[in-house]
Amino acid sequence: MILNVLRWIYLLPLIFLTFPLSSFAQEKYLPYPGIIHIHSSVSEEGIYPPARLVSLARDKGIKILIFSDYFLRRWEYGLPPFSNILKIRREEKSVVTYGVRRYWEDFKKIKEEFPDMLILEGVELSPFYWWSGNPFKKNFSLRDWNINLLVVGLKKYQDYARLPVIGNRYILPRLKDIPHLSVCLLLVILGISLLKKQRKIPGYIFTVAGILFFLHLFPFSSSRYNLYYGNKKYRPYQDLIDYVREKGGLVFWSYPEITGQALGRRLAAINFYTLTYPESLVLTSGYTGFGVNMLPGTPHNLILAEGQWDKVLTGYCAGKRSQPVWVIGEAECRDERQVGPIQNIFFLPKFSEEYAYEALRKGRLYVRYYSGNQINVSLEDFRIQDSENITRSAFMGDEIAIRGKPQLRIKGNYTVKPLEDLRLEVIRNGKIIKSFVFKDEGVFDLEFQDDSPDVSSKKSYYRLNFFAGEKIILVTNPIFIEI
């Protein structure tokens, strides 16, 4: 009897290592609609203060809000060799001009004012931009001004204040500044030494050079890149991603398929020029996910089958990436008109800020385009079960090891007006393996087994895309399986 008990005690850890806890008992998740990417009057182009936007969202049944005011909207151009001294600058409203600590404290009060809402503070930022062309010719251009990321979930306001963003400066030197400060100090010491020896001309030159070099460095830059030395590819963005991960936050590529282009006038024509950047998903790593806008007419090639997202997900399954990448829906909400059409449906075991962050971190949400009584598709369930043991299952964003074949369960309801066919694509490893068409409004309740020989002893994933006519209106995050 004692030997049997000891044997079970020995085997129990192995059982839990072989079969994850989620395989034995699926948590009960409840759906909560949320909006991601909200601009308040704190930053440029925002209209309403944060509390007003929360109130508008609550009136429309939204339960989770993620703010992302511009962290810093400042560009500058300086003349060499002291481009940080002899420069022109333009700055727009942002969290930095408002005050990072003040912004943080404001949200503490707003959360207390709306206890029935989950309100998460974050920022939108562009870590890097660079200049090309001649300031006195028509080819003078400010590049990559609109390559943006969203950052949420940092635990301290100081972590936001120190984000490695070009133009984000600070007063007290850090370890990385010591080599440059040492050069300044050596130049000044050498100059003073020469002055004491009555060698005035070289003494003054070295002393002034040291002082000017210090003024050129001060205030110190959070970014290690220079905006006058050309394109740095994705290195500044990877620095930002690594910093956020180190601090325990979440970071998403914002609208990789959206372009931003504008003209301004400062001494000569300045072209603000940004290309789309869908390749960012492949060329960077460690980020949490990326954003899409599913309004009619906006590009969404990233989430179609065999797009860049699928390349990243298959790379994760092949062991080339350490973590999966999730999709979120970006509303870029500034007023009441943008409250509601682009929704993220979070699945939470408990209505709390902690679980909202967990849903973002683990991909436990889907994105939908919602248009009141015209387009309203709700996904109640999307899971994969083991055909040999249907009590073992994985939900959206989960991973599961199975022994049999994967059985998919997809359940929900929909309204589409004017009446169009609702089409569902089931995607496995980037390929469409099944397509279903629903011709009448109502419900869908599907259950089928994937018997394809392509499902082998390797990690795979399944995800769903829904279309109304040719418009994509809902996309899920994937479920991963391993046989």
At residue 399, what are phi and psi to the nearest 5 degrees? -125, 145
Distances (CA, A) of 317 to 306, 308, 313, 481: 15, 14, 6, 9
Q: Please tell me the predicted confidence (pLDDT) of residue 236.
A: 95
Model confidence over 431-467: pLDDT tens digits?
A: 999 999 988 778 999 999 998 877 777 899 999 999 9
Q: Is the peptide bond before 296 cis (omega within 30 degrees of 0)?
A: no
Q: Please tell me the predicted confidence (pLDDT) of residue 93.
A: 94
What pairs with residue 148 in β-bridges? Answer: 254
Q: CA-CA distance, 30 to 348, in Å (whole number)?
A: 5
Dump the DSSP string for 328-358. EEEEEE-SGGGSSSEEEEEEESSSSHHHHHH
Number of CB atoms found within 10 A of residue 479's CB: 24
Cβ contacts of 25 within 8 Å, gap of 6 or more: none
Q: Please tell me the predicted confidence (pLDDT) of residue 17.
A: 38
**Strand, coil or helix: 438:** strand
Q: Write the single-letter amino acid at 242.
A: D
Whole-model pTM?
0.86
Model confidence over 258-277: pLDDT tens digits?
A: 765 443 334 456 888 788 99
Q: Please tell me the predicted confidence (pLDDT) of residue 194.
A: 78
Q: Please tell me the predicted confidence (pLDDT) of residue 26.
A: 54
Ranges of the chain whose pLDDT falls below 50: 1-25, 261-267
Q: CA-CA distance, 191 to 208, in Å (whole number)?
A: 8
The two structure tokens encoding residue 203 = 């003494």
Distances (CA, A) of 174 to 170, 180, 219, 220, 481: 9, 11, 11, 9, 45
Q: CA-CA distance, 137 to 347, in Å (whole number)?
A: 54
